[in-house]
Amino acid sequence: MAVHPERFDHQGPQTHSSDAAAAASPAPGLTLTHVACCVCGAEDCVPVGIGEDFEYRTSLDTFIAMRCRECGLIYLDPRPTPTELPRIYPPNYHAFDFSAERFGFVYRVRRSLEARRVLQWCRGLRDDARILDVGCGDGFHLRLLRDFGRPGWTLEGVDASDRAVDAARRAGLTVHHGTIEQLGLTAASYDLVLLIATIEHVDDPAGVLRAVRRLLKPGGRVVIVTDNTATLDFAMFGGRHWGGYHFPRHFNLFSRTTLTRLGGVAELDVESVETVMSPVNWVYSVRNTLVDWHAPSWIVERFSLRSPVALAVFTLVDTAHQIAGSGALLRAVLRRPMTGSATNGATNEATSRAARGAATDTPDMSAAAASRRSSAPQSAASAARTLFAHITHFATALRHG
């Protein structure tokens, strides 16, 4: 209080300062930093969720998910500084080793589902296309492309974690260690960039997308898959336990609106933003609730990436939401605009064909697209087809398992 001391004097007793007590114990928390909204730049936000690292317990901190009052983005503020990344991504982090050995049946189901999805995005690519997976983790999607894609494709990954890079390289993949902004990869050389469950982890999504834009050939596309905040699971669990928060590792969480706006910020054309069925956030929302309530571990373990029953149940639940146009994940297809110095016509045609394919061909996407186009309830026949497609995936995976 900066007024005359004689006029304004809090008279306390002569005591020790509490500095001694504070200095005696080293800070058990992460070093945190404050940020503004990465989409609109505003720093006008309100808390919507408050939680902890329920999954890995990497620190004792409590975290706040803020909602930007300007654009609606959900973001972590304050958030760990870059120096804390090794701490918040522990050695047992699942993306570093999503292997058949560790995840068994679930691995096979996911592999089957994801192979189908990933190939949809690649439809129309030339035989010599270059594909970059940013935030590739242990290379799960790159392996799918290698195993099921065309032999002429050049596949590369980028990841900032040395553990993830090691795992991917052990699988024989080409992976660059670092961040896409710093690596200095060749500009305008990629036909397709994948950002699968990556954009929510990065500190500066607009910066990453601008870097992606630079790497893409004119007309080349980027496919972003990320958690969707405009969902029932967010509405139900968003106060604390929502799986998509993944405290403190998901820095920015999007809706259709904010992801579209982010594309604009990075000067990418938005071809489509659709929702995709996923049981994962549901399963982890329930799990986080159980962990927080100190439920016995045998119950908690029924809800994880290794529990086929929970995943199957919530696949059905989220399929219903997907049919209603609010699946748990978002998938955006953005395109680097054509410029005067465009590449040859064949590439352009191929990419635009691929874009059309990606926007209309997958069953989950066609449902969302249909409901968006007409704003009318989807026909029962179409809904049944979508549900059937997902059940078939499970059945197939079970058989092959």
Partner 1 sequence: MAEPRNAKPPVIVVGAGLAGLTAAAFLRRRGIPVRVCEAGPQIAGLAATHVDAQGFSYDFGAHFITNRLAAAIGVSAECLPISHYGEMVRLGGRTYGYPFGLMRSPRFMLSGLGARAGQWASGSPRSAADVFRSRYGAALADQVAIPLLEAWSGALATDLAPAVANVLNHSIGHTVLLKIHSRLRQRAVAIGYCHELPETRYVWHVYPVGGVSLLCKRLAAELESCVDLETPVERILVDQGRVVGVRANGRELPAAAVVSTAPVHILARMVTGTDALRPLEHFRYRPMVFANLRFTGRGHLPDTMMWTPDGGAPFFRLTETPLSMPWLAPPGHTLITADLGCDVGDATWTASDEELGERCLQHLDWIPNIRRRYLGCRVVRSPVAYPIFLNEYEKDRQAFALSTGVEGLYSVGRNGEFAHWLMEDVYWRALNAMRQLIRDRVALAA
- Window of 19-27, 149-157, 280-288, 377-385 that interacts with partner 1 by CB under 8 A: 19-27
Please, which residue, 139 or 248, has the CB nearer to partner 1? Answer: 248
In angstroms, the CA 39 to CA 142 distance is: 29
Kindly state the smallest distance separating residue 271's Cβ from partner 1, in Å.
Answer: 35
- The reply to whether 186 sits near partner 1 by the rule CB under 8 A is no
Closer Cβ to partner 1, 20 or 376, answer by number:
20
- Cis peptide upstream of residue 248 (ω within 30 degrees of 0): yes
Eight-state DSSP code of residue 95: G
* CB closer to partner 1 out of 46 and 380: 46
Among 90, 178, 207, 239, which residue sits at the site for partner 1 (rule: CB under 8 A)? 239
Q: Output 44 or 349, the one with its CB closest to partner 1.
A: 44
Q: Spell out the residues 6+ positions from residue 27 whose beta carbon is closer than 8 angstroms to its own.
A: none
Nearer CB in complex with partner 1: 22/346: 22
Q: What one-character DSSP code corresponds to residue 186?
A: P
d(CA 398, CA 396): 5
398 binds partner 1 (CB under 8 A): no
Q: Which is nearer to partner 1, 28 or 296 (CB)?
A: 28
What minimum distance in Å lies between the beta carbon of 243 and partner 1? 16
Among 54, 63, 103, 121, binds partner 1 (CB under 8 A): 63
Of 293-332, which residues contact partner 1 (CB under 8 A)?
293
Helix pair 280-292, 308-323: axis angle to 10 deg:
120
Closer to partner 1 by CB, 6 or 127: give it: 6
Helix (H) or strand (E) holding 167: helix 162-170
State the minimum distance, in angstroms, from the CB of residue 240 to partner 1. Answer: 4
- In 81-196, where do the E strands start and end? 130-134, 154-159, 175-177, 190-196
Peptide bond into 78 cis (omega under 30): yes
Among 97, 182, 199, 240, binds partner 1 (CB under 8 A): 240
Interacting residue with partner 1 among 37, 38, 59, 134 (CB under 8 A): 59
Quick note: the x/- pattern for partner 1 over 66-95, rule CB under 8 A, is: ------------x-----------------
Is 211 exposed, middle or buried, given 0-12, 13-18 or 19+ CB atoms closer than 10 A? buried
Could you give the CA distance from residue 329 to residue 200 in angstroms, rounded to a whole number? 12
User: How far is C-alpha 43 from the geometric centre of its chain's CA atoms?
Assistant: 23
Dihedral in degrees, nearest 10, Cα atoms 367, 338, 126, 194: -60
Q: How far is the CB of 281 from partner 1 (least distance, A)?
A: 18
Stretch that binds partner 1, among 10-18, 82-90, 119-127, 209-217 (CB under 8 A): 10-18
Minimum CB–partner distance for residue 283 and partner 1 (Å): 20
Residue type, 324: A
Of 43 and 269, the one with the shorter C-beta distance to partner 1 is 43
DSSP-assigned states of every residue in 299-346: HHTTSSTT-HHHHHHHHHHHHHHHHTT--SEEEEEEEPPP-TT---HH
Nearer of residues 191 and 203 to partner 1, judged by Cβ: 203
Q: Which residues bind partner 1 (CB under 8 A)?
A: 1-5, 7-13, 15-22, 25, 27-30, 32, 34, 36, 43-44, 46-47, 50-51, 59-64, 78, 239-240, 293
